[in-house]
């Protein structure tokens, strides 16, 4: 299989081999990358602040296992992020690299991914950063631009202020994703839904003991995959034509 075929097959699997739907996602991804170069240009594991965002602060963790249905699992700590850790743009880049790591695996292209959204620490500070524009951009990427099937979102540690963010987020979420969101109050239920390594230790999981060195090695081994994806896109001089090009030509 050629590198071109491998990339396209990921989009096809994620859209149940509907060529029209897959092609729409392909076009959406490269349009968003063209319009948001600060977030998506030259994206690769070696060009994200992995040490600060992941190893030191655990903002993103991809499980070493799968959930009971064979789906990938990841925890995002939106409440733990602040600008002392990394910029919000870099946090998005870290999330995107991990998402692409998941879709690099055929099992998760087919079965999808579940997300634990840990909101511990979310407060007034985040209002200035998690703006409607940034929230819209995030959901556009997740829903319309990635060959990634979000099969469940489990929200834990949600403070009262989250109602504000959620009210904004609902404006940009499709009905299918809304139906897959669950607020987890009984933590015992969470243990039956996702592997322990994406559950905080304070809730009976093992997330704080996660081996980020191994995760970083896994990501760095996929540099070639990222370079191949980066070699496609829309050129600025011809926004109506999809063509094979390197990012510096976009």
Residues 144 and 174 sit within 8 Å (Cβ to Cβ): no
DSSP 24-76: HHHHHHHHHHHH-HHHHTT--GGGS-HIIIIIIT-SEEE-SS--TTS-EEEEE
Nearest CA among 115, 32, 122, 136 for reference residue 72: 115
Query: Would you call 121 helix, strand, or coil by DSSP?
Result: coil
**Which whole number is the average pLDDT over 170-196?**
91
pLDDT exceeds cutoff 70 at 244: no
pLDDT exceeds cutoff 70 at 204: yes
Distance CA 55, CA 35 (A): 30
Residue 75 burial by Cβ neighbours in a 10 Å radius (0-12, 13-18, 19+): buried
pLDDT tens figures, 158-178: 999 999 999 999 999 999 999
191-228 core/surface letters (b: 16 or more CB in 10 A; e: else): eebbbbbbbbeebebebeebebeebbeebeeeeebbee
> Residue 39: pLDDT band by 50, 70, 90 thresholds?
confident
| pLDDT score recorded for residue 26 | 81
DSSP 199-250: S-GGGT--GGG--HHHHHHHHHTTHHHHHHHHTEEE-TT-TT-EEE--GGG-
pLDDT tens figures, 87-127: 999 999 999 999 999 988 888 988 999 999 999 999 999 98
| pLDDT score recorded for residue 106 | 84
Query: Would you call 150 helix, strand, or coil by DSSP?
Result: strand
**Which whole number is the average pLDDT over 75-95?**
95
| pLDDT score recorded for residue 84 | 95
Fold classification of 3-231 is Phosphatidylinositol Transfer Protein Sec14p (3.40.525)
- Of 95-104, 207-216, 237-246, the one with minimum mean pLDDT is 237-246
Report the interhelical angle of 223-230 vs 3-14 (nearest 10°). Answer: 90
Q: Are strands 150-156 and 181-183 parallel, antiparallel or unpaired?
A: parallel
| pLDDT score recorded for residue 20 | 85
Cβ neighbours for 111, distance < 8 A, ≥ 6 positions apart: 66, 69, 70, 71, 72, 149, 151
Report the interhelical angle of 162-169 vs 132-140 (nearest 10°). Answer: 50
Distance CA 82, CA 96 (A): 18
Distance CA 240, CA 236 (A): 9
> Residue 247: pLDDT band by 50, 70, 90 thresholds?
very low
């Amino acid at each position: 299989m050629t590198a071109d075929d491998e990339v396209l097959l990921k989009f096809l699997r994620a859209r149940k081999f509907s060529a029209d739907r897959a092609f729409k996602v392909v076009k959406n991804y490269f349009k968003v990358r063209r319009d948001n170069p600060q977030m998506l240009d030259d994206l690769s594991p070696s060009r994200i602040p992995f040490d600060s965002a992941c190893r030191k602060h655990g903002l993103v963790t991809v499980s070493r296992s799968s959930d009971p249905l064979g789906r990938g699992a990841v925890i995002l700590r939106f409440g733990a992020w602040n600008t002392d850790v990394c910029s919000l743009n870099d946090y998005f880049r870290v999330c995107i690299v991990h998402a692409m790591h998941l879709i690099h695996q055929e099992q998760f292209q087919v079965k999808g991914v579940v997300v634990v959204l840990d909101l511990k620490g979310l407060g007034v500070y985040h209002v200035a950063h998690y703006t409607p524009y940034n929230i819209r951009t995030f959901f556009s990427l997740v829903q319309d631009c990635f060959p990634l099937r979000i099969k469940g979102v489990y929200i834990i540690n949600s403070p009262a202020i989250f109602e504000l963010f959620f009210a904004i987020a609902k404006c940009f979420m499709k009905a299918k994703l809304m139906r897959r969101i669950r607020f987890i109050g009984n933590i015992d239920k969470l243990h039956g839904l996702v592997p322990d390594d994406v559950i905080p230790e304070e809730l009976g999981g093992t997330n704080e003991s996660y081996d980020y060195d191994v995760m970083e090695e896994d990501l760095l081994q996929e540099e070639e995959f990222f370079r191949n994806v980066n070699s496609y896109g829309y050129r600025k001089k011809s926004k109506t034509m999809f063509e094979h090009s390197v990012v510096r030509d976009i």
